[in-house]
Amino acid sequence: MRFRLGWASPAALFALALVTGCSTESSGPTAPDPSEVFGGPGFGGDGGVYTMTNAVSGNAVIAFRRAEDGSLASLGSFPTGGAGTGGGVDPLQSQYSLVLDEARRFLFVANAGSDDISVFQVMNDASLRLVDRVASGGDFPISLAVRNHDLFVLNAGDNRVARFQVRSTGGLVARGTISLAAGAAGGSTIAFNATGDRLIVTERDSNRLETIRVNPVTNQIEAPVVSPSSGAVPFGFDVSPGGHVIVTEALGATPSGAISSYRVNSNGTLGTITASANANGGATCWVIVTSAGFAFATNTSSGTLTSASIAADGVITIVSPTAGVTGFGSAPTDLDLSADQRFLYVLEAGSGNLRMYDVSGAILTDRGTTPAGAGLSGMQGVAAF
């Protein structure tokens, strides 16, 4: 994250080293062996947790097997074949830089330094097998959204959203691109709404949100619809059980961060429900919402997590600005829940650790950290199941 108002975020202390590379495509994926795929006949684990190095010398996914009690066992690192950017804390300035499909058969990873996307097959022990790597359809891919057999990629460098068909083998087939609306700046995060017929994109620098409808009849992508953000620097978001869009704002309650909620109107605009609820933390940038209607947001510069409740009508109530405390300099960034939602995993970009919490409603119980990589190295993203 890069901010210029009132305080210096951890990211502002570190230079972003960008590398561009030549994207290559694989010769084609092979069909998965059912006995090796996660959940297949040979499955003997409980889940997995993934983050990525985002290294300039070669991006790689750092994989962990999750036990029933939430604890993590290292499975090593798995090269993506592409390049990252390096660069301290949060060089991609996005959420969902690596995502799992709904069936948790495949993990999709953005290689921002080489402008391509890698696909891994999730094996029955939560380890990974690279099955494809394709050009991202634009410049600087940073955020991914997958639904059914479609993968969408937000390319922040040229404000383009690329669409791919996901084959049964995990291979990707390019299906065209669409530009964000004129004036787009600082594209951060892309994800689907609750019904899966609209994509939502946050834009940090233009302080707005865009929705892109995927027509369920024609399957065509329609022109983006722009809505203003409630507060400054809209960043990450998730969708509540009631279908409301819950968005973090790094400077939504200056000098603190904030969380806003929106309804998706029939014309594609976003209507504000709760405007910039004060998270009482610095650099509120990532958020995850549980199926029980509780949200957890990371405050990167203050080393805390804010918890909130999301009512059925989308109204946000802040429960605790210190539901989790990772400590100054730890720089908590991206986060994700286990599939059973009993555990929350948070990437500490400052320390290079993954911190684990037990989840009970809006209450987090700290279970300590697991080393994942080098602190301040540009590590990015969390995907868990």
Output the pLDDT for position 2: 29
Q: Is the dihedral of CA 7, 11, 17, 20 positive or negative?
A: negative
Tell me the average pLDDT across 179-203. 98
What percentage of the chain exceeds 70 in pLDDT? 88
Largest Cα separation within the chain, whole Å, is 56
By three-state DSSP, how is residue 12 classified? helix
pTM for this one?
0.91
Output the pLDDT for position 10: 34
Identify the band that residue 157 occupies on the pLDDT scale cut at 50, 70 and 90: very high
331, pLDDT greater than 50: yes
74, pLDDT greater than 60: yes
- pLDDT, tens only, 283-317: 999 999 999 999 999 999 999 999 999 999 999 99
Check whether the bond before 255 is cis (ω within 30° of 0): yes
Q: Rounded distance, CA 350 to CA 380, Å? A: 11
Output the pLDDT for position 30: 58
Question: Per mean pLDDT, which range of 34-43, 130-139, 184-193, 283-292 is the poorest?
Answer: 34-43
Q: Rounded distance, CA 20 to CA 251, Å? A: 30
What percentage of the chain exceeds 90 in pLDDT? 87
- In 3D space, the residue among 85, 112, 118, 83 whose CA is nearest the CA of residue 99 turns out to be 118
Identify the band that residue 236 occupies on the pLDDT scale cut at 50, 70 and 90: very high
Strand order in the sheet with 187-192: 187-192, 198-203, 208-213, 225-228
Output the pLDDT for position 219: 87
Q: Rounded distance, CA 292 to CA 260, Å? A: 18
- pLDDT, tens only, 11-55: 333 322 222 222 223 345 555 565 565 554 344 469 999 999 999
Q: Rounded distance, CA 244 to CA 323, Å? A: 22
Q: Rounded distance, CA 35 to CA 294, Å? A: 37
Q: Rounded distance, CA 198 to CA 216, Å? A: 10
